[in-house]
Structure 1
């Protein structure tokens, strides 16, 4: 049995990172992506591979279809979610941040936009724009005609271009702004905090109904500034301010923050920066169901 399964495991492990990468970008959650990876292994190990000439394409086809199927099944839950639904944050490394294409493809900003695509459009966009698969390869992977894939790719590209931020700050500037924001927020420096925020900054908070968070976007520098200024004085999720720790790290390809209590991760924070170097969007994930990967310290990219 070991001799039979050894080569199969080797081939699967060779492309495991790719399989997870595809699944995470299609699904937007590490937990669902890990489930898709496991289901891909089960299908791969049970399949007749004697006619599989290209394991990479075969495994991509399996995981793409599994991810689309799972996305369709979770759509209703996401549409009826309590408050804004944000992607599950993942820890990344500084090398990922230096790789602009990879960092952008796992950024909160892009993943939020991808949530507005249909499962097919999302899968096609990920395979074409992120992994540079040809239309013919994608057609085989998602089991659609090449013409249908071309149409889906065109719709997805136009949709993403119309909705994603017009400007992406370079990583050094984004890191600098995040560090300054971190110092101001944790130090109670409301003046610097206000200087860093764009006048029409938007704060999105995801508590999923599990913890108390804003159920609508918080808009405007004064309102958002007050929200963060309260961190030093207000009890949060039963944790006193003096018990809370904050740290800078790499989240979804850019600098971000983790907030911890004595025994758990309580939230993550990532920032988008505009051309003037001010914070335009803040994504705050506090739903405990979405913090397992961060709490475990797992780095995916």
Structure 2
């Protein structure tokens, strides 16, 4: 059953309000659903999360006082946009919590020396955590996907791994980052990865980082 069929069935089963007015309100939602899904997908870039947002929009629409809504499509689009943005912000907070202050934000060259030093220390800490807890493949996938938003297809090409495998590695990396298990970290490897990461984030040229991560996975 696709997303629209699910909402149609839900509308047909919604308590005693299946009268002409409610049928019209349900129809307004079903008509807007493709646009709502597109909004969610554009913000969240994940099909499942976008579908969840549309479902939550439906629930809020069902509970809303629709008699005061002048333009249902605009009202529904606004709800969906807010839910999607909240979802994206929550996902970002989860990433920051998992590895401390997150990485791309630590490379703003416009900040003062003291702030720059603090951010460099945050990068050092985050990279060390990745080295301590993740395998080279997990670390490579995690950095490329979370820090630089690479699509899984591109990650699989860089690392010479199957696309499904990269998705599994990302899930595994998140699980490992939540544990206390740690490995001994080479100071040389730590400094090299920090230096390469910061250079990539500052310049936007990720070729060196891609090469380093791919080499670590291959060994």
- The one of the two structures with greater contact order (alpha-carbon pairs below 8 A, sep at least 6) is 1
Q: Which has the larger radius of gyration?
A: 2
* Bigger proportion of residues as strand: 1
* Bigger proportion of residues as helix: 2
* TM-score, length of structure 2 as denominator length: 0.41
